[in-house]
Amino acid sequence: CAINLERCVIENNYAEDDGGGIFYTEPRPSIFSDCRIAKNQAHDGAGVYGPHEDPNPVVLSGCEISENKTFPVPSPFGTSTGSSAAVRGNSTLIGCTLMGNESLGRFSEGSAGGLNFGKAKFLNCLIAENRAVSSLFFGSTLIHCTVVKNHSYWSILEDASATNSILWNFGTEILGDSTATYCCIQSGYPGTGNIDYYPEFMDYAGDDFRLRNGSPCVDTGLPEEAPDTDLEGRSRPGLDGLVDIGAYESIDSFTPTFPSTEEKTLFVRASAPVGGTGESWETAFRSLQAALVIARPSDEIWVAAGLYDVPVDIEPGLRVYGGFAGTETHRTERDPVENLTVIEDEARGRMVLLTDATVLDGFSIGGSLVVGPHSTATIRDCSIFGYPRNEPFDLNGGVYCEEASTVLLERCDISSHPDSGVLCMESTMTLLTCSIRDNDYGVYVLDNSETLMAIRMDNCLVLDSDYSGVRGSSVLRNCTVDGGDFSINTSESRKIEVMNSILADGIKEGYRPGGALPDKIAFSYVQGSHPASDPGFADPESGDYTLALDSPLIDAGNPEEEFNDACLPPGLGTERGDMGAYGGPLNCNWADYNPPPTTTPRPTHTFTPTATPTLRGDFNGDR
């Protein structure tokens, strides 16, 4: 029989498995109108759970679906993270508000469709401030929706479609086999009628997502797709025959304007007065988030020294630089060592999310940095430091690289994480002149993809890991690995190549998957298999891993020209490369790191400019 509920409150319910608020097993012609479905919990479908059969005649109209949460449950493969915090299945939602729902859990195990998994249809809906590990919508259809201020490690839409909708969220908006037309999408997306200008909401900070006069979303929607009214009951189209993009229709006298598409620089200064426009140091934004909300692809954001204590999501195509005093007119004038620019909050695990074609340069980051899936990111001159293990967070490591990402870390210091300093999951990663210290594992590579993916490390120091310095498929050139149970653990590795490197704690052989390539180790010191009993570091107890003048590893690297020392010193004797991180073609990057300074790479909440990153290479990029 049909079920019709009107003006009901369904709140604070709990289901051990599915359907915390509403659960139905067969599609019936049912209508839930003007109901509040809130604060319910379940593993799947915390707000509403229904099947995926088509057609599905269940309709939710004018409902508030808020603050529902999914939770993980044990599975034969570890942990099964919940999904569909708001709605599971193929129902239709008209004029609904979905806010503050969460489908969180282990970072690497999120189920697709954190907010909706299925073929649900959303018309005239406001969808804001929801959070999920996975994509928010999987397989869904959105028409005239405003989707804003949502967080996802993966994306907002995956294998979904959107028309006449605003997608203005934190991180990647669209992945997979998705389509979008006549939409306003942060960072842009291919499709007829799509734009990527800031929508000009009435009050973004105050959650008023109606459109201002002059918004580029005014009158730029497709009338043929418009329902008869908007979220507030205003007629569509207006008397002018035009429709706006998003859930709200503006008054007929409003007209659109379109900003310049030229690349620009936005300015951020923690000590700036409230209300800045970001157009100069004098009118700088006070928060990094304010700049990220309005920036377009290929814009630069310059951030002055100070403490920024809110997590940030770097939108696709943006380049964000720290280390400014707040007076510079050229990027090469900055000094990230002198002008410490800190993103940190001990109450949170993940502090930075990078998406596709992004650059982050010159920051100290307390917590974890995540590179999203299918993203290319560059991270330079950053210190990424951790805290003691915090059980509510899955993210206790330094740098996480998700599936199919391509990442470059250059001149970075990654330290003091109770999990891996670097975790690379089916991704391509290169580390140049990096220091990775005092972590659980130094570098951990998980590679289950069809295409072999190995991490590449040149002129890197990996020190004092609780377990192995490096685990998984890896290529090392001129690296020094010391202070763990083993320098390299070959478990799960399909490729191990080591050249001109020092493995002071040897190699632990582990399970190797089918198709693993033969190891290639040449011109390297491996503890237990080298004639010398000691590599001859200058003063390892004080953190100086340069080679002493009598070290047998000086001028003992590969004699081919491509492996030569690039400058003297720190290369010693001849042009032939030394073994270890201070020799080889990149050794000039270590010129100011001889001996390494003794520093504390962990700034505190009370910002102190005396804390400095460990590395002192070419921060300005002008060498």
Mean pLDDT of 384-400: 72
Other CB atoms within 10 Å distance of the CB of residue 520: 11
Starting from the edge strand earliest in sequence, which strands make up the sheet with 507-508, in order?
A: 312-314, 350-354, 368-371, 399-401, 422-425, 443-446, 468-471, 486-489, 507-508
Q: Which band of pLDDT confidence, cut at 50, 70 and 90, is reported for residue 572?
A: low
pLDDT of residue 396: 74
pLDDT band at 569 (very low <50, low <70, confident <90, very high): low
Q: Is 75 exposed, middle or buried (0-12, 13-18, 19+ CB in 10 A)?
A: exposed
Look at residue 604 and tell me whether its pLDDT is greater than 50. Answer: no
Residue 301: pLDDT band with limits 50, 70, 90? very high
32, β-bridge pairs: 5, 60
The rounded distance, in Å, linking the Cα atoms of 360 and 320 is 5
**Do residues 582 and 555 make contact, with C-beta atoms less than 8 angstroms apart?**
no
Higher pLDDT, 348 or 513: 513
Q: In the chain, what percentage of residues exceed pLDDT 90?
A: 70
> How far is C-alpha 121 from the geometric centre of its chain's CA atoms?
28
Which tens digits make up the pLDDT trace of 42-72? 999 999 998 877 677 889 999 999 999 998 8
Q: Please state, as a whole number, how many other Cβ atoms lie within 10 Å of the Cβ of residue 277.
A: 13
pLDDT digit string, tens, across residues 533-564: 899 999 999 888 989 989 999 999 999 989 98
At 114-173, the pLDDT tens digits run: 888 889 999 999 999 999 988 999 999 999 999 999 999 889 999 999 999 999 999 999
Q: Is the peptide bond before 55 cis (omega within 30 degrees of 0)?
A: yes
Contact 87, 65 (CB under 8 A): yes
Do the Cβ atoms of 193 and 182 come closer than 8 Å? yes
Q: Which of 474, 475, 428, 424 is nearest to 451 (CA)?
A: 428
- If one compares 260 and 12, the residue with the highest pLDDT of the two is 12
Residue 107: its H or E element: none
User: Which of 298, 343, 312, 306 is CA-nearest to residue 324?
Assistant: 306
pLDDT score for 110? 42
At 392, the pLDDT band (50, 70, 90 cuts) reads very low
318 pLDDT more than 70: yes
Q: Which of 472, 477, 436, 430 is nearest to 458 (CA)?
A: 477
SS3 for 441-461 is: CCEEEECCCCCCCCEEEECCE
Please, what is the average pLDDT of the chain? Answer: 88
Mean pLDDT, residues 257-276 taken together: 95
* pLDDT score for 357: 96
Q: Per-residue DSSP letters for 300-338?
A: EEEEESEEE-S-EEE-TT-EEEEEE-S--SSGGG--TTT
The CA–CA distances, whole Å, from 231 to 124, 156, 168, 226 equal 5, 21, 18, 12
Whether the per-residue pLDDT at 593 is higher than 50: the answer is no
The predicted structure's pLDDT at residue 56 = 75
Q: Which two tokens stand for residue 580?
A: 């270890």
Between 433-437, 487-491, 565-569, the lowest mean confidence (pLDDT) is in 565-569
Residue 348 pLDDT > 80: no
* 410-430 average pLDDT score: 93
- CA distance to 12, 31, 130, 287, per residue, from 39 (Å): 5, 21, 13, 31
The two tokens of residue 9 are 């409150």
Kindly state the average pLDDT of the residues 563-583: 77
Query: Quick check: 98 and 116 in contact, CB under 8 A?
Result: no
Q: Are 361 and 380 in contact (CB under 8 A)?
A: yes
Confidence at residue 55, expressed as pLDDT on a 0 to 100 scale: 74
- Give residue 590's pLDDT: 62
Domain ranges of the chain: 4-225, 306-590
Number of Cβ atoms within 10 Å of the Cβ of 506: 15
Peptide bond just before 570 cis, omega within 30 deg: yes
Q: What is the pTM of this model?
A: 0.89
Out of 3.30.110.30, 1.10.3720.10, 2.160.20.10, 3.40.50.300, the CATH code matching 306-590 is 2.160.20.10
Q: What is the pLDDT of residue 276?
A: 96
Q: Lowest mean pLDDT: which of 130-134, 260-264, 275-279, 607-611?
A: 607-611
pLDDT of residue 117: 87
pLDDT confidence tier of residue 105, bands split at 50, 70 and 90: low
